[in-house]
Structure 1
Amino acid sequence: MIPQRTRDLLDQAVEKQGLCGAALGVVDTDGRGETYGLGWAAREPEPLPLDEGTWWDLASLTKPLFTARELLRAVEEGLLDLDDPIEAHLPDLAWMQDTPLRARTLRQLLTHTAGLPAWTPLYTWGDAATIRARLLQEPWPLAEPGEIVYSDLGYLLLGTVLERTRGLSLRAFKLEEGLTFAPDPEHTAATERCPWRGRVLRGETHDENAWALGGVAGHAGLFGTLAGVLTQAEGLLRGGWLSPAAQAAATRPQAAGRSLAFVSAQPGWSGGSLCGGRAFGHTGFTGTGLWVEPERGLAWVLLSNRVHPSRHGTLDIQALRRAVGNTLLAAHG
């Protein structure tokens, strides 16, 4: 199921291109699966081997696998609707300000069409309480509604919506086996030698903004094992990830190149050019990704710590992701 050519590509990435470690998992519509792991959980401060139970920092895979999914579960229960304005759930948003942000919708936040900026260094603003308050009150410059701007800030707001809807902190949400917000550092793949925190990161989220908010936020903070993330991919491929109606809503196109939770197949996307028009997936900054190709009946997960020991390596992770997807699909009968 994992062809030799795919294994060779990953071997070359680890042995010659600076990738620290990687774990690939593939599953088909009949439930057959195969995995392949290689490299290291860490190279610094000392070499540490990978194993099947290694936790990986999933980075922005938090967005579809946790935040979007939990929003859709709340929709299933009638607790909110995707076309609710943001102010219906965050009435203190932009208090005493004349801004169209208050009237933009949860759907627009999910699809990155609410017009919010992509990112800002929230971790430089102060403590977690200050960041939470200022996130709601900052006079954000907005793009026109409908324009796609991939935004961590939008998912930070969605995380706040979830907390208020459920009356729980994000860390208190129940997660399925193989997913966690609190991995054992001794069994976690290292990410960056962080200049800000002054240490190699293991078992704490790589994302600075999520870390400053206590380690968990709507856009980052989730960790997963290969088996845990592959279970999510299998649910997306075979059904059962959500109710049929909610799962269809999560995966069908809603805006140009985007569904409610995922990125749709398009020229140049991370899943490779052999994917069909119904394929979808998502990636994470640390080197993670998940892809589903329903027309070919195949889903795959590639987890890596490509930011170890630094995010400024020379490996082209997007090219590797596309090559893995193309070789898997070419070999799938």
Structure 2
Amino acid sequence: MIDAAFASAEAAIAEGRIPGAALGVVHADGRRAIRHAGMAALVPQPEVLTENHWFDLASLSKVIATTTMILALAEQGRIDLDRPLTDAIPDLRQYDVANAAERKLTFRDCLAHRTFLPAVEPIYTYGDDPDRLRAFVLQREWKHGPHVYSDINFIMLGIAFERLTGQPLSACPFGEGLSYGPPPGPAVATEACTWRGRVLKGEVHDENCAALGGATGHAGLFGTVAGVLDFAQGLLDGSGTTPFQLDAIRTPIRDHRTCGWEKKFAGWHGGDACSAETIGHTGFTGTGLWIDFERGIGWTLLTNRVHPTRHRETGILELRQTTGDAVIAAS
């Protein structure tokens, strides 16, 4: 079954569109299969990809780490998702308490990307001190815009979590195969970064995350394909979540957005064959995770499509869609 589903990734590797890929499929009853092929790195030294390599999960950090931890705080009664972020960050826009729209944003707003905040901002260009940059995020008067998928939402959620718990995100425990970087094993290379002047390997690809210390609400998590599958199985069989959290991540808040995740919609990265009860998320480095609750199956496709540069067309959308459709067809 998984061989047919992995065929599109093998073709993309053979055609030179991506260096390497790993596909993992897991069922609610615990059955799983993994395939991998290609290269963990092309430059500066070639390195063959193995099942034990750690991928920079990029924005999968938003759902595997941040969403899970924020929902756990809500279930414990330490926050109310419909209360403003100022319950955790009272100094948010502290110089304009009466008028700042940021002070009215709720935890649920940020989880569902239901805010006026921009998609992204080159925060790393404003300095290199993580504490100062966190202050910049909190005190900046952000330009208002339409509801968009926004890294800033999750950077703020990460800061809120750190304030509430008194510990950095990097101190949070995860299961085997998931960790904030640097990972405790061989790492997949990402980009030859012009800002840092080197090929990134075992350090976070996202510039803002790196400048903010390497572990933020929007990025910084690394994982092996088995580690990501363990997380997926915990959602499928209930061992790694609770009814409260499952309801939150499966219930739409606006359009196809739930708390952290997105549900199936026309043209999404998860393909057309999955059921309407499928949630998923992707990461910029070439990662993705999808959970079909109706069929009791989850799959993760991990690639290093930004290696050695993001500035080329890799066909990642089509690859994700064809892979997802093939996984469902063979299930």
Q: Within 5 Å, which residues of 2 pair with 1:12-31?
A: 12-31=11-30
**Which residue is 1:2 aligned to?**
2
SS at match of 2:59: helix
Q: Within 5 Å, which residues of 2 pair with 1:159-308?
A: 159-184=158-183, 187-308=186-307
Q: Within 5 Å, which residues of 2 pair with 1:77-226?
A: 77-97=76-96, 98-126=99-127, 127-143=129-145, 148-184=147-183, 187-226=186-225
Cα distance in 1, alignment partners of residues 152 and 320 from structure 2: 26
SS at match of 1:196: coil
On the 8 A contact 2:58/2:219 being kept in 1, the answer is yes
AA aligned opposite 2:102: L
Residues matched between the structures, number: 328
- Residues 211-238 of structure 1: per-residue CA shift (max 9 Å, x gap): 0011111100000000000111111222
Deviation, 1:175, is 1.7
Cα distance in 2, alignment partners of residues 233 and 61 from structure 1: 12
SS at match of 2:138: helix
Normalising by structure 2, what TM-score? 0.96
- Residues 8-36 of structure 1: per-residue CA shift (max 9 Å, x gap): 21111001042111000001122111110
On the 8 A contact 1:55/1:223 being kept in 2, the answer is yes
Deviation, 1:101, is 1.7
Percentage of pairs with the same residue? 45
AA aligned opposite 2:148: V
* Worse overlay, 126-135 or 156-165: 126-135
Cα distance in 1, alignment partners of residues 78 and 184 from structure 2: 36
On the 8 A contact 2:3/2:35 being kept in 1, the answer is no
On the 8 A contact 1:21/1:40 being kept in 2, the answer is yes
Deviation, 1:161, is 0.4
AA aligned opposite 2:24: G
Gaps in structure 2 of 5+ consecutive residues: none
Cα distance in 2, alignment partners of residues 194 and 308 from structure 1: 10
AA aligned opposite 2:104: A
Cα distance in 2, alignment partners of residues 298 and 165 from structure 1: 34
Deviation, 1:130, is 2.0
Normalising by structure 1, what TM-score? 0.95
Deviation, 1:184, is 4.4
Cα distance in 1, alignment partners of residues 184 and 124 from structure 2: 22
Deviation, 1:185, is 7.6
**Which residue is 1:64 aligned to?**
63
Gaps in structure 1 of 5+ consecutive residues: none
Cα distance in 1, alignment partners of residues 138 and 35 from structure 2: 43
AA aligned opposite 2:101: P
On the 8 A contact 1:94/1:137 being kept in 2, the answer is yes
